[in-house]
A and B are shown apart, each in its own frame.
Chain A
Amino acid sequence: MGLDFSQINFGFILGGVLVTLEFTVLSTIFGFILGTLLSIIKISKFAPLRWFGIAYTSVFRGTPLLVQVSLAYWAVPQLTGYDIPALQAGIITFSLNSAAYVSEVIRAGILAVPAGQRDAALSLGVPYGKMMRDIILPQAVKNILPALVNESVALLKDSSLVSVITANDLMRRAEITMSNTYRYFEPLILIAAIYYVIVIFLSWIGSRLERRLRQSD
Chain B
Amino acid sequence: MESERSVSTAQSSEQPDNLVYDWSGMVDRIQRNDETAMEELYRVFSRGIRFYLCRQLGPQDLDDRVHDCFLIVVQAIRKGDLREPERLMGFVRTIVRRQIAGHIETAVQTRRQQVDIETSGAIPDRRLDPETFVIGRQEEELAAAVLKGISRRDREILTRFYLHEQSQEQICREMRLTETQFRLLKSRAKARFGELGKRKLFRKVS
A and B assemble together: no
A-binding residues in B (CB < 8 A): none
